[in-house]
Amino acid sequence: MWLHFLVPLILLTTWTVTCHVIDETAGKMADYSGYTLHRFQVDTTSNTMEKLESYDMELDQTTQTARLLIDIWAEPSKQNPHADVLVAPEFLQKFKSLLTTAELSTLKMIEGDIQRILFHSSSQINAERRAMIHNTVRRRRKRALRSWHDFDTNAYHSYDEMVEFMRLLSEQKPDMVEMVKVATSSEGRSIYGVKVSRDLTRPDAETRPRPYQILQIHPPGISPPEKPSIIVDAGVHAREWIAPAVGLFMIKKIVLEYGKTAEVTANLQKFDWYIIPQVNPDGYEYSRTNDRLWRKTRSKNVTVNRWCVGADANRNWGYRWGEAGANRTPCSNIYMGSHPYSEPEIKGETVYRIPYAVCRMPYAVCRLKEFFTWQITNPMVYISLHSYGQLLLSPWGYTNERTENYQDQQNAAKEAALAIKNTTGVSYSYGTISEMMYPASGTSIDFMQHRGVPYIYGVELRPTDNPNSFAFNLPPSYIRATGDEMMAALNAIGTHAVKVKRL
């Protein structure tokens, strides 16, 4: 989720929550027994958010614990004026006292079994994953060579499986796909993406296959001209599993449907696509093996709060870092980091000082910011996939002011929302981050707007935030429909850009 705020509330709804093991082969998972999920009707004119953040900082300094006490699952928006807040059992009474202080002492319990929903969806994920592994093993026994076709995009995968899919695809479809290394995580994992294009040239094609394509990081002023690009990243927040799953789905769908579907074909002829399905692999793997609700990166904290790990990678970008909607407390789920680009996944190294740094080479400096800035020289569309809420959020995040191209961005978002509606019947709302929710600074969305990318959206994917939704535990059976929605949205935005920019 993009924003994490608690605001004055009128109505409180409570369910009991328990977190269950997703990966049966993993270590002991974090125990969320006794946690309660509260829904509040929101007064959007309040300043309670600032008070809550101050109280949260006091808690961090006195409790000396990394255990999650408060966690915002869904933020209020103009279309859905309420917030969903997860509260630890040991903090529940203090939390109620906080509401009482804000003259919100009237609580109403309604029926709802989030524990049952979480257990059901976790069991479904396990069952579908076992079936996927069984079917994959059977296929591999029948033929010697593995194929990217075998990769099941209707399942949640480990990061290693994601990388293997991208490797196979780049090796077996070298005319369309390059595998690119864009960064290195805190724990040393290489972060990969793919470039999907109809203009790939391979001077050493006869030496195929090879692990991944070498890309040069071009310094300012000498970058070669490129086609306009569409950039998609996902997985910034670890627990939002649907986001990387949709990124992988889109990669495969573009390759499969080129030459068969008019919109996919037209947009691939007009644009190069860069898709990075998992920006935060450390956090993602931790959410699979240790804590299903983990959100941040896994960087080590060197401050006095050494027991608190990681930062919110979507508060760590340098443009307007540390302003509205960021938290300086290391234990906070929206901790902005110790300084801009403190997280190695997006760290802003001066790559251009090394005139053709090659990410593949040992000790080469490769970071997401530099990849976006110097490798992709003509970005036209940038999408960052998150969950949940079904929203298309454009800049700015740090301020209520509108961008110079606000109306054009909203027109494209309107066309994207209509395309989604026509594809699956699902409704997505659209507007700026600050219009739809509340200010947030240090985001990739604002960084890209500052850089001058015309069409920029942070997308909150399925589900909606109604009381019967699955929240972050969306079953894999929803991946296909959610992926189809995003393909429809991206095709609509691309078509809009071609028309308006006369590409």
What is the set of active-site residues? 460
Closest CA to 192 of 168, 208, 172: 168
57-62: Cβ within 8 A, 24+ apart: 57/327, 57/328, 57/329, 57/332, 59/91, 60/305, 60/308, 60/329, 60/330, 60/331, 60/332, 61/305
What residue has token string 């086609």?
227
If residue 282 lies in a helix (H) or strand (E), which one and from where to where? helix 281-289
179 strand-pairing partners: 194
Residue 376 structure tokens: 């992709």
Closest CA to 168 of 137, 146, 201, 200: 146
Q: What is the DSSP letter of 364?
A: -
Rounded CA-CA distance 118/237 in Å is 19
Positive/negative CA dihedral, 492, 496, 499, 501: negative
Which amino acid type is present at position 31? D
Strand segments, DSSP code E, in 362-453 are: 379-387, 391-394, 429-432
Under 8 Å between Cβ of 229 and 376 = yes
Q: Measure Cα distances from 211 to 146, 147, 178, 282, 364 in Å.
A: 15, 15, 10, 22, 17
3-state DSSP helix/strand/coil % of the chain, to nearest 5: 35, 15, 45
Rounded CA-CA distance 312/107 in Å is 32
